[in-house]
Amino acid sequence: MSSGNDDFRLDKELLPIMLDQRVRNAARSPLTTIDPITMRARAAAEFVPWNDTPQQLDRVTDFAIDAVTHKIHVRLYEPRTNDYSGALVYFHGGGWVIGDLDLEDGALRIIAKQSGLKVLSVDYRLAPEHRFPAALEDGETVMNWLTANGKGLGIDANRIAFGGGSAGANVALGTALRLRDNGGQMPIYMALLYGAFSRGQDYPSYQEFGDGRFGLPSAAMNFFWNSYLGDSDAHPHATPIFADLSGLPDCYILETELDVLASENSDMVSKMRAAGLEVSHQIYKGAIHG
């Protein structure tokens, strides 16, 4: 753990955001002491400023995909409605406990506009009500549905990539592993942003940033992992740092420097490359988790 004030390490545009977050955190109960419903409402309120001036697209459509026992709600962002193109299937962050289709709406609109790709956001089931492997089951169901039905949405099912941030990166990678092992159609690429890949906290970045001064404390990650897995043994689809990564698509990994998860992202890059994947690895200096 660093001693003294090391706020100088923060990107200058992030410093006022971090200072404001510290003030708000000091005035309210810690995240790990409130119930999931309250936690989700708090997160939704905090993301309002990021979503209040949405990028305009040709069309944004909400619909549901039938699973065996429930419906999976999704949102399709289309920068151009007359295109037959590839798509990014995106899984939101939130520690497997928080999040919905609205949480990262603003960011996904920008991604769709700037990339020219259709983006399909997945409202997968959340823990602790639905523990592992529920989120991955939903991801697999969505991919299998797209393989069969994507053409009707103007989506080339042979040009689908997976993406996600934080716990969503975990869900994206875990879903790809599940599809590989079950013989399903794989994504052609993955974009994994500051992902959670290991339940263990013995990484150097946990030791350096675990106090939460840059946003995400180790106590919160412990809470999220416990909510997702409970007391069950870690499955390699849930903790993919320990998975056989061979046969997966190539990948982009974004690592944020001032983040408890930084070290495991570097570790994942090494393990993917050792498994034969081509990995583009970017470290965002001065950036915090999320």
201-239 confidence digits (pLDDT tens) = 899 999 999 998 988 999 999 999 999 999 877 899 999
Q: Are strands 85-91 and 118-123 parallel, antiparallel or unpaired?
A: parallel
The mean pLDDT value of the chain amounts to 93
* 109-124 average pLDDT score: 96
- pLDDT tens track for 16-28: 888 888 888 777 8
Q: What's the confidence (pLDDT) of residue 1?
A: 46
CA distance 163 to 173: 8
CA distance 166 to 93: 5
Active site annotation includes 289: yes
- Decide: pTM greater than 0.75: yes
Distances in Å between the Cα of 269 and the Cα atoms of 36, 160, 192, 193, 244 are 32, 21, 11, 12, 13
Q: What's the confidence (pLDDT) of residue 27?
A: 78
Active site annotation includes 198: no
Give the sheet arrangement for strand 118-123, strand by strand: 59-66, 71-78, 118-123, 85-91, 155-165, 189-193, 251-258, 279-288
Residue 31 CA to its chain's centroid (Å): 19
For the 30-288 domain, the top CATH level (class) is alpha beta
* 42-67 average pLDDT score: 88
CA distance 82 to 100: 27
Q: What's the confidence (pLDDT) of residue 3?
A: 44
181 has a pLDDT exceeding 70: yes
More confident residue, 78 or 26: 78
Give the 3-state secondary structure of residue 281: strand
Active site annotation includes 237: no
Q: Which of 166, 198, 205, 227 is catalytic?
A: 166
Distances in Å between the Cα of 176 and the Cα atoms of 23, 51, 88, 248, 288 are 39, 29, 13, 7, 26
Contact 91, 119 (CB under 8 A): no
CA distance 92 to 84: 25
* 236-262 average pLDDT score: 98
Candidates 124, 97, 93; CA nearest to 224 is 97
Q: Which of 100, 123, 138, 259 is catalytic?
A: 259
CA distance 132 to 222: 15
